[in-house]
Structure 1
Amino acid sequence: MRYAKCIIIPDDEGLHPVDRRIEAHPDISRDLLHNVNLLADETIVTLYQFTGDRDALKSILEDSSRVRKYQLSGVDDVIHAYIHVEADDRLVGLLSMLTKFEFIFDTPLEFTRRGGLCVTMIGDVKSFQKAVPDVPDGIRLKLLKTGSYEPDTDRLYSQLTDRQQEILRTAVDMGYYDVPRAVTHDDIGEELGCTGGTVGGHLRKIESKLLSQVVP
């Protein structure tokens, strides 16, 4: 079993008008795309993870005629969003290509800082080359690497934002989780150039996010 890791790079129109509006909002960050499915009627259902202003996100979803329905959950500024949208030709074309060549995504999919979507596609290695001509106009695939596929042992860690990963790595490296504890929030904050309160807030969110998925 093989995989190809690549970045999906859309043009200025984005992958879908609703996604483009969310991306452009200054108070909403697209963190992860946990799932995306093309239905038989060529509508699309997605499961996003956002960080930011919940009311701003609701306003975008309610104002769009392309959104059939949505549901939001999560705590604080972390938002999980189930969104069912009307089809967009380029996204339908991309998902149809994946079905045609029998690819599956290794989820979650990660958004890049430049607006792309980093994906790992699992399938037959020969199909990767055959699929390139079927990529819809306005979308470019940048291949990062290929290899033999093994399940991602860093799945939980990958669900954290870049800033959360940085804070958690620093806390572990400095001994915050040692017994006895070697450093305080203030020590970590001094290392990262922020306050101890900021560090404590991030660590509580990180622990809530990870432990809620570990404990049955």
Structure 2
Amino acid sequence: MKTVRLTLRYDAETIHPMHRFVADSDDFDAYRMVHGNLAGDDDHAFIFHVVGDPDAYAAAMERTEQVGDYDLNRTGERTFTVYVRDVPEDVDERLLDSFTRGSLVVLPPIEYRSDWTVRFSVVGESDDLRRALEGIPDGIEATVGRVGEYDGGDAAVGSLTDRQREALRTARELGYFDVPRTASVDDVAAALNCAPGTAAEHLRKAEASVIDALEL
């Protein structure tokens, strides 16, 4: 099986209203889809992890016609998850259809970025990947990044507990792993709503699990 890293760049006509809102706002630092159910006839269900202003996000969802029911849960002062049922427009439906046909599997997370792009990896047979790229609707420009054989490279992430994964994700988003480091364990602990010692333990165990899972 092949794996392809893709970047999709949307224009003003094709970008989802919530992606545009988050991208154009200074109140958000990260916006990722981590799970999705595409089996619905009229709508689809998704779970997002967001770093930013939960009140501003909820207000924007109330104004967005494509958004149906949703449930927003705060996980920290500026971190929250959102379960949402979304009514896809034609361009979204065609894009989802292109990347869920045949052998294709989209690997979460799907990262929604401030430059109106979406980044994700997809695994599948070469012919299905080619057809998916050819089926991308007008108004969305695709850039193919890394291409290779799928080797289960997400196994390292799969070895983590939910809390360890959250700790690593939060640390990365805050800048804990930046060089030079721009966030401390105390900052990570505040975002996770736990004690600094607990945050440090989550990070140590998560880093150990990832290293053990890698083939170095």
Same fold (TM over 0.5): yes
Q: Structure 1 residues 91, 29: CA separation in 2 closer, same or farther (over 3 Å shift)?
A: farther
Distance 1:113 1:26, change over 3 A: closer
Q: Distance in 2 between matches of 1:4 and 1:147?
A: 7
For residues 10-159 of structure 1, what are the structure 2 equivalents within 5 Å?
10-73=10-73, 74-151=75-152, 152-155=154-157, 156=165, 159=169
User: Could you tell me how far apart the structure 1 residues matched to 2:31 and 2:18 are?
Assistant: 16
Aligned CA distance change for structure 1 residues 94 and 208 (closer, same or farther; 3 Å): farther
Does the aligned pair in 1 maintain the 2:185–2:199 contact within 8 Å?
A: no
Is the CA contact 1:14–1:20 (under 8 Å) kept in the aligned structure 2?
Answer: no
SS of aligned partner of 2:41:
coil
List gaps (5 residues or longer) in structure 1: 171-190
Aligned to 1:99, the other structure's residue is in SS state coil
1:167 and 2:168 equivalent? no
**What does residue 179 of structure 1 align with?**
none
Q: Deviations over 1:1-52 (max 9, x none)?
A: 2211111211123532233223322212333210233333241222111111
Quick one: distance in 2 between partners of 1:209 and 1:97? 42
Q: Pick which of 115-124 and 96-105 moved more.
A: 96-105
- Range with bigger deviation, 37-46 or 97-106: 37-46
Residues 50 and 78 of structure 1 are in contact (CA less than 8 Å); yes or no, is this contact kept in structure 2?
yes
Which residue identity lines up with residue 92 of structure 2 in the other structure?
A: L
**1:119 CA drift (Å):** 0.8
Q: Distance in 2 between matches of 1:22 and 1:113?
A: 7
1:112-153 per-residue CA deviation (whole Å, 9 max, x = no partner) reads 452311111011022222222211111121100211112314
Give distance in 2, aligned partners of 1:95 and 1:62: 24
Secondary structure of 1:137's counterpart equals coil
Task: Name the SS for the 1:131 alignment partner.
Answer: helix
Letter in 1 for 2:136: V
Distance 1:200 1:159, change over 3 A: closer
Q: Tell me, yes or no, if the aligned pair for 1:28 and 1:57 is still in contact at 8 Å.
A: no
TM-score (norm 2): 0.74
Q: In terms of Rg, which structure is larger?
A: 1
Distance in 1 separating the partners of 2:7 and 2:92: 15
Alpha-carbon separation, structure 2, partners of 1:12 and 1:97: 21
Indicate which of 184, 194, 209 corresponds to 1:199. Answer: 184
Q: Percent same amino acid among aligned pairs?
A: 18
Secondary structure (helix, strand or coil) at the match of 1:135 reads coil
Deviation at 1:162, TM superposition (A): 4.8
Q: CA–CA distance in 1 between the matches of 2:94 and 2:200? A: 34
Give 3-state SS (helix, strand or coil) of 2:100's partner.
helix
- Extract unaligned runs of 5+ from structure 2: 158-164, 193-197, 207-216
TM-score, normalization by structure 1: 0.74
